[in-house]
Amino acid sequence: MSHPQEPDRHRMIHPDLAVSDDEAPRSPDGHRLEHGAGTSRPLRPRSHEPQPRGARVHGHRPIDQNEAAARFIAAPEHEQMHDERLWDLRQKRDRQMRAIPEWEELREIASRIKQHTLSHLDTYLEQFEAAAKANGVHVHWAEDGAAHNRIVHAILRDHGARRLIKSKSMLTEECGFRHYMAASGIEVIETDLGERIQQLDDEDPSHIVVPAVHKLRADVADVFARKLGTDPDNDDVHYLAERQREATRPLILEADAGLTGGNFAVAETGSIVVCTNEGNADLSGNVPKLQIHSVGIEKIIPQVADLGIFVRLLSRSALGSPMTQYTSHFRGPRPGTEMHVVLVDNGRAARLGMEEFWTSLKCIRCGACMNTCPVYRRSGGLSYGATYSGPIGLILDPTFDKRKYSTLPFSSTLNGSCSNVCPVKINIHEQIFAWRKVLAEARELPLVKRAMMSAAGKVLSHPALYRTAIRTADSALKVLPRFVVYNPLNTWTQGREMPPVPKSTFHDWYAANHPAPAEDPTSPEAKP
> 140-192 pLDDT, tens per residue?
999 999 999 999 999 999 999 999 999 989 999 999 999 999 999 999 999 99
Which pLDDT score is estimated for 177? 97
Q: What mean pLDDT comes out for the span 348-374?
A: 97
**pLDDT exceeds 70 at position 317:** yes
In the chain, how many domains are there?
1
Q: How far is CA 315 from CA 97, 118, 468, 524, in A?
A: 11, 23, 54, 65
For residue 232, give the 3-state DSSP assignment: coil
Is pLDDT larger for residue 465 or for residue 376? 376
Beta strands in 288-371 (DSSP E): 290-296, 300-301, 326-330, 338-344
Is residue 466 in some structural domain?
Answer: yes
Which pLDDT score is estimated for 44? 64
- Of the candidates 209, 169, 174, 175, the residue with the CA atom closest to the CA atom of residue 190: 169
Per the CB < 8 A criterion, the answer to whether 295 and 343 are in contact is: yes
> 379-430 pLDDT, tens per residue?
999 999 999 999 999 999 999 999 999 999 999 999 999 999 999 999 999 9
Q: Could you give the residue ranges of the DSSP H alpha helices within 31-75?
A: 65-73
Is residue 287 in some structural domain?
Answer: no
Three-state SS sequence of 63-81: CCHHHHHHHHHCCHHHHHH
- Of the candidates 334, 343, 268, 345, the residue with the CA atom closest to the CA atom of residue 307: 268
**pLDDT exceeds 60 at position 299:** yes
- Of the candidates 442, 437, 451, the residue with the CA atom closest to the CA atom of residue 395: 437
Beta strands in 110-267 (DSSP E): 138-142, 163-166, 187-190, 257-260, 264-266
Is residue 11 in some structural domain?
Answer: no
Is residue 298 in some structural domain?
Answer: no
pTM for the complete prediction?
Answer: 0.85
The Cβ of residue 177 has, within 10 Å, a number of other Cβ atoms equal to: 23
> 131-140 pLDDT, tens per residue?
999 999 999 9
**pLDDT exceeds 90 at position 508:** no
Q: Could you give the residue ranges of the DSSP H alpha helices within 404-516?
A: 417-421, 428-441, 447-460, 463-479, 482-485, 506-513
Give the domain extent around 455: 447-513
- What is the CA 16 to chain-centroid distance, rounded? 28
**pLDDT exceeds 90 at position 103:** yes
